[in-house]
Amino acid sequence: MDPDAPIETEEQLRASTVELLEQADRKSAEWIYLRRAVIDLDLIRATIDAASAQLRALIPPSPRGASTHHAVRLGLKRLTAELEAEIEQAASREP
């Protein structure tokens, strides 16, 4: 795996993390960190899948629900902004 290669998908991120985990010494702190990262990646994916299913349930099946469609778009925009702000804050706290 090229550590400088851009990661564009969840699958690429998980595959590269698993590859690093397989290369790490099982008794090292790095192995423990990477194992936790794989668990977190799986948990995040499951959470996103559940949230996605719930959001899809809010979208009305006909074009008559234009205001509801708009509400879902605005809600997703707000959610994305809030998550990006949280990620930026967390990244700025790292040593």
Q: What is the pLDDT of residue 1?
A: 55
Q: What is the pLDDT of residue 88?
A: 93
Residue 79 has pLDDT above 70, yes or no: yes
Q: What is the pLDDT of residue 64?
A: 81
Residues 46 and 43: their CA atoms lie apart, in Å, by: 5
Q: What is the pLDDT of residue 61?
A: 83
- Identify residue 21 by its one-letter amino acid code: L
Quick check: 13 and 7 in contact, CB under 8 A? Answer: yes
What pTM did the predictor assign? 0.75
Residues 21 and 38: their CA atoms lie apart, in Å, by: 9
pLDDT digits (tens, 9 = 90+) for 16-64: 999 999 999 999 999 999 999 999 999 999 999 999 999 889 888 888 8
